[in-house]
Amino acid sequence: MKDERRQERREEMRGEMEDKTERRSKRRDERRKEMRGEMEDDSERDERREQRREQRSKQRREKRREKRRDKKRDKKRDKKRDKKRDKDKRRDAKPKKNGRPRKGSARKENYRTKYRYSPEQMDHAITLVLEEQCSLAAAAKEAGVPRMTLSDRLF
């Protein structure tokens, strides 16, 4: 009888201990889940997943919008640049009074022709200086050739 009571008591104590350990482990699991931010309920977990998906899709949409804005901005900038180029071309196409083009216009089209003058213009300037006793500066201006180039050719 004593042995039976002892056994019963041991079993009761084991049961109580098992209950305590189960309760402790449940509490510990709950604390861990709370710390990790996990929810016990499946619906809440699904809800969080759905929120994350929505957030990602929103970010993707924003990126697409940014790309579109950038493209529009680039197009506007390109249009402005093209307009400016066209305006410069039109402005450079008009020659000055002394027959030379505006500064820099020739450089855009072909590199080495800074001043546009023909060999005939240079010959005309040389004849003005040599035969008609005209000054270098006046002959260069009249013929539309650079003054220093004319002096280099003569001397």
Reported as a single tens digit per residue, the pLDDT across 90-124 is 766 655 555 555 555 544 454 455 667 888 999 99
Band the pLDDT of 11: cuts 50, 70, 90: confident
Tokens representing 108 are 């855009």
Q: CB under 8 Å to 124, separation ≥6 — which residues?
A: 143
Please state, in angstroms and rounded to a whole number, the distance separating the CA atoms of residues 111 and 116: 12
| Span of 35-39, 51-55, 135-139, 144-148 with lowest mean pLDDT | 35-39
Distance of CA 149 to the CA centre of its chain: 47
| Span of 26-30, 57-61, 88-92, 112-116 with lowest mean pLDDT | 112-116
Tokens representing 132 are 């008609």
What is the pLDDT of the chain when averaged over all its residues? 79
Residue in 155, 136, 134, 135 with CA at minimum distance from that of residue 146: 136
pLDDT value at residue 128? 92
- End-to-end CA distance of the chain, in Å? 143
pTM as predicted: 0.29
- The helix/strand count (H/E) of the chain reads as 6, 0
Please state, in angstroms and rounded to a whole number, the distance separating the CA atoms of residues 39 and 96: 82
Q: Quick one: average pLDDT of 70-82?
A: 86
Tokens representing 72 are 């529009």
Residue in 141, 85, 89 with CA at minimum distance from that of residue 115: 141
